[in-house]
Amino acid sequence: SYNPASYFLDRPMIAVMGEDLVSTVYAIDHGNYVTILWYGRPYGMYPERNLMLAQLYDNGDIVFSYADWVSPDYWGHDAVAGVSKGDGSTYVTASPSDNAAFLFTYGLTTVEITEVSYTVSSIPYFFETVTPPVVSGDDAYGEYTLPFDFWFYGNTYNTVYLGTNGYITFTEGHTEYSG
């Protein structure tokens, strides 16, 4: 059986609300940041609505904002919210709720080795209007080219994969989900 938490730990990714969602994903280019918005519903639950958004900034900062946090999902899995380096042990999570927002501030520390981390803080809730979708459906993803290089755990990415299950991944898209 699929486990959102283990998938989160094993891949470099941003899990905004990692669970079984049926949604439409939008990307809005603002120049120095991109807003990614999910509109839909958790599998097996109605009605469709604004769920959450993420903003990726050209300096590596990340913002999450939630209109509706739903956990556990239809299958009983707890949703995941946070950032993961993908090495199985380096990650930072948040504890979302309805109408809440979080700022993940990118930090780079150089001593003898370079250490990259995120700190998370609560910020005021907000939402945005949408543009044409990147992807829509159940267990689907779409590729999106960022208008800038995005720093994530010491690596630079200019392409992200936006998943209808609430994930932003960097090396490949994700579609599988089973209860």
* Contact call for residues 36 and 126 (beta carbons, < 8 A): no
pLDDT value of position 128: 77
- pTM: predicted TM-score of the whole model, two decimal places: 0.83
* Residue 151 region by backbone torsions, left for phi larger than 0, else alpha for psi between -120 and 50, else beta: beta
pLDDT digits (tens, 9 = 90+) for 68-107: 888 777 878 777 888 888 888 888 888 888 888 888 888 7
Find residue 69's DSSP bridge partners. Answer: none
Query: d(Cα 125, Cα 90) in Å, to the nearest integer?
Result: 27
* DSSP summary character for residue 78: P
pLDDT for residue 116: 67
- pLDDT greater than 80 at residue 39: yes
